[in-house]
Chain A
Amino acid sequence: MCLRVDEHCILDVENKAPLVEISVDGNTIKAHEGEPILAALLSNGIKVNRYTVKKHEPRGLFCGIGQCSDCSMVVDGKANVRTCITPVKAGMVIKTQDGLK
């Protein structure tokens, strides 16, 4: 499922930043360097970013501007990274967050 906006009547939606590879839960996906990690995942149809501590419920994009922390993931070994305001870098290793780690 690809969710990129590839045509738009007002906006120039072509992302000129280079396409790089990142790893998500062991799978390699393509992402534009500098775009929010969340956007790259969403464009690949990945909508669950973490599971809650107590009830193990899935969470995903909610506010999109760094306020709610629901899109937090483990990035390069560090937990609680708000993926909506963290830019993609080539070779990033991203994992779905389980509880606090």
Chain B
Amino acid sequence: MLERDVLVVGAGPAGLAASIEAAKAGADVLLVDLNMKPGGQLFKQIHKFFGSSAHRSGTRGFDIGLKLLEEAKEAGVEIWLQSTVVGAFPGNLIAIEKGVDGGAKEVITLKSKKVIIATGASENVVRFKGWTTPGVMGAGAAQTMINVNHVKPGKKIVMVGSGNVGLIVSYQLMQAGCDVVALIEAAPKIGGYAVHAAKIRRAGVPIYTKHTVVEAIPGEDGTVCKVVIAQVDDHFNPIPGTEETIEADTVTIGAGLKPATDMVKLEKCQLTFNGPFGGFIPLHNDKMETSKSGVYVAGDATGVEEANTALEEGKIAGISAVESLGLISPKEAEKRRIEIWDRLEALRMGPFGERRQQEKDNILKEYEEKIGTAVEMD
């Protein structure tokens, strides 16, 4: 049977960082990802990152991705693409389905001493009449099309949601040559950074706050051709008589993300609900270990944040995994974890970050109270 020291699931920033740390310490690491390419969402992030120089501010997401892939290669991380975890069984056994849809697929059983789950997040949806019509999609889906596949999702775009995703992707859609005809926000205020909002306002995109999408109307070909928006009252209900019809072939929804916890559930790790982090998340301690001994988590799967926090959490998970394998001393591991938690604290500052720091502290506390020490469950 195939055996590895560490299995890492998800090759985004968290999974790559975890793999690199573990492999550098001498562990046999297998990193799996269901996509055609590694890097997670980094390769669609063509904007320069904010933050301090320690966190590569001013660097574009895809350059960070390239650097990580290089480091992973140097460290000897084995990467399987188009590979999905489909089962977890007693005795540290993991079933991985390998292969492309329509082609020959095989299910491989792996015995892995440690598992690091870095499965990221999935996009939230806003439902309105016609939301399943082709042409209505996630803002992230549109971003993948333009920045990774270099194909426009459509010509005239209505963006729903003015958080940072909605704002940044609107700008990037314009950079790709699309026409963003409206940005819709149900709240009375723009959700994301003013600097991003200013950029798209300067480019002439009308921003409709206190508005929602009422309907996406398909044309003869069955795809979106018109979008009806309306003002909302204080309870976010559309106000009759305020409808406006916009000519557009695409609606992109940037309504936030929720942690992807399927694998965490498969491993029967204990979850907790956390609104600010996007929904149900696995309880974890300061080693990023879940309620199940030897199973670690990192990145958006532990609560939706951003690439830099994912990277740092990934490093902690990697370090903790090799510590428990006896590849580095507990003293060394603890020293490095403290350094990383300090950097994470620096990332979780400011109007958007403070709340996340508070919630992270609460989660660590909840872990202490409910679990204390991770238990062997098999």
Contacts and interface: CB of A to CB of B under 8 A. Distances in A.
A59 to B, nearest CB: 6
Interface in B314-363: none
Size class of the A contact interface (CB-based, 8 Å): 35 or more
Interface residues of B, number: 40
Contacts, number: 117
B38 interface: no
B151 A43 contact: yes
Contacts of B222: 48, 58
A64 B137 contact: yes
Nearest to A64: B141
B214 to A, nearest CB: 19
A5 B150 contact: yes
Contacts of B136: 62
A22 interface: no
Interface string B134-149: 1111101110111101
B70 to A, nearest CB: 18
Contacts of A35: 149
Contacts of B152: 3-5, 42
Nearest to B141: A64
A87 B101 contact: no
A82 B82 CA distance: 12
Contacts of B209: none
B90 interface: no
Interface string B61-100: 0000000000000000000001000000000000000001
A88 to B, nearest CB: 11
Contact of A63 (B36, B46, B134, B140): B140
A58 B223 contact: yes
A9 B175 contact: yes
Interface string A36-76: 10110011000111000000011111111111001000011
Contacts of B138: 62-64
B122 A63 contact: yes
Interface in B261-277: none
B132 A10 contact: no
A90 interface: no
B304 to A, nearest CB: 15
Given A5-B177, A39-B149, A65-B141, A85 B36 contact: yes
Contact of B101 (A15, A43, A86): A86
Interface string B150-170: 111111000000000000000
A27 B133 CA distance: 24
A78 interface: yes
Contacts of B35: 65-66, 85
15 contacts: A3-B152, A3-B155, A5-B146, A11-B147, A15-B150, A38-B149, A48-B221, A49-B134, A58-B218, A59-B134, A60-B135, A64-B140, A64-B141, A67-B260, A82-B101
Given A5-B146, A82-B101, 11 more contacts: A3-B153, A4-B150, A4-B151, A9-B175, A58-B133, A60-B223, A65-B140, A65-B141, A65-B144, A67-B260, A86-B36
Interface of A: 3-11, 13, 15, 35-36, 38-39, 42-43, 47-49, 57-67, 70, 75-76, 78, 80-82, 84-87
